[in-house]
């Protein structure tokens, strides 16, 4: 009876762990992230690299409102330049979950948007309210060590002032196991089968009374 209960407990433990979701959030609020060709952040042993800024300086811009994803400042103003694209890359496979807009200041004659894409997967984002977390419209799984291209579809002329910007304060992803989904269930089944065999051996090895 003890062996049977232990086997059932092992199965439940494997199922619970396979369904657990580990969320990781990267915060971009700080001037220490500005003026860099590469922004490298580590959280929960997952390394995020932000690079390939295509702007007038090709460098990152950030302050207490977050990392600049677009703007209309000139290079001499040292604030948030218009960035046509940039790249994200993780050292482990993750699912894109949500982002927090720290600040935005632009007029909307049409539908401003950012596209996050990797290979055949993409997510078109059109909602950037101040200090509000937004889910990715397509929460695709991004492969490890493969760039995610962020394309800016915002018309630079729609920014009203000399220091207008769209800034992200944080990005949240979900860690993804490297093994295929069915493997934990197979492991649980093997463990359960082995416990049954062990129980049978113990039973047959008992001396007859």
What are the DSSP E strand ranges found in the chain?
23-27, 38-43, 46-54, 62-63, 66-71, 85-90, 94-104, 114-118, 121-125, 132-135, 141-142, 148-152, 165-175
Is 51 inside any structural domain?
Answer: yes
Residue 118 has pLDDT above 90, yes or no: yes
At 89, which CATH number? 2.60.120
Q: What is the structure's pLDDT at 115? A: 95
Q: In terms of pLDDT, which residue wins out, 209 or 57?
A: 57
Question: Could you read off the pLDDT of 59-74 as tens digits, one per residue?
Answer: 998 888 899 888 776 5
| Chain segment 2-32, per-residue pLDDT in tens | 444 554 444 444 444 444 578 999 999 877 8
Q: What pLDDT shows up at residue 12?
A: 44
Q: Does residue 126 fall inside a structural domain?
A: yes
Tokens 């969320």 belong to 23
pLDDT given at position 131: 85
pLDDT the model gives residue 55: 86
DSSP H or E segment with residue 17: helix 2-19
Q: Is residue 72 part of a domain?
A: yes
Q: What are phi and psi for residue 75, nearest 5 degrees?
A: -60, -35
Does 8 fall in a domain? no
Examine residue 1 and state whether it is found in any structural domain, yes or no: no
pLDDT at 76: 54
Asked if residue 38 is part of any domain, the answer here is: yes
Q: Name the least confident of 44-48, 93-97, 125-129.
A: 125-129
Complete DSSP assignment for 159-194: --STT-EEEEEEEEEEE--SS-THHHHHHHHHHHHH
Mean pLDDT of 42-57: 94
pLDDT of residue 14: 43
In which domain, by residue range, is 40 found? 21-178
169 located within any domain? yes
Whether 207 is covered by a domain: the verdict is no
Q: Would the pLDDT of 108 be above 60?
A: no
Number of structural domains the chain divides into: 1
* In the chain, % of residues over pLDDT 70: 64
pLDDT for 200 beyond 90: no
What are the C-alpha distances in Å from 21 to residues 49, 55, 62, 174?
A: 22, 36, 30, 7
């Amino acid at each position: 009876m003890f062996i049977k209960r232990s086997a059932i407990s092992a199965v439940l433990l494997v199922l619970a762990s396979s369904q657990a979701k580990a969320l990781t959030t990267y915060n971009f609020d700080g001037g220490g992230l500005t003026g860099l060709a590469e922004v490298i952040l580590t959280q929960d042993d997952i390394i995020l690299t932000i690079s390939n800024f295509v702007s007038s300086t090709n460098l990152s811009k950030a302050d207490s409102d977050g990392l600049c994803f677009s703007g209309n400042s000139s290079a001499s103003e040292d604030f948030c330049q218009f960035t046509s694209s940039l790249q994200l890359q993780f050292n482990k496979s993750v699912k894109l979950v949500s982002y927090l807009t720290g600040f935005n200041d632009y007029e909307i004659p049409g539908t401003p948007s950012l596209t996050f894409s990797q290979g055949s997967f993409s997510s078109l984002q059109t909602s950037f309210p101040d200090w509000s977390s937004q889910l990715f419209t397509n929460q695709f799984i991004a492969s490890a060590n493969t760039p995610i291209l962020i394309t800016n579809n915002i018309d630079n002329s729609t920014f009203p002032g000399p220091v207008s910007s769209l800034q992200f304060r944080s990005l949240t992803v979900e860690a993804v196991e490297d093994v295929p989904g069915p493997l934990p269930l197979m492991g649980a089944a093997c463990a359960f089968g082995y416990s049954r065999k062990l129980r049978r051996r113990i039973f047959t090895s008992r001396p007859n009374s």
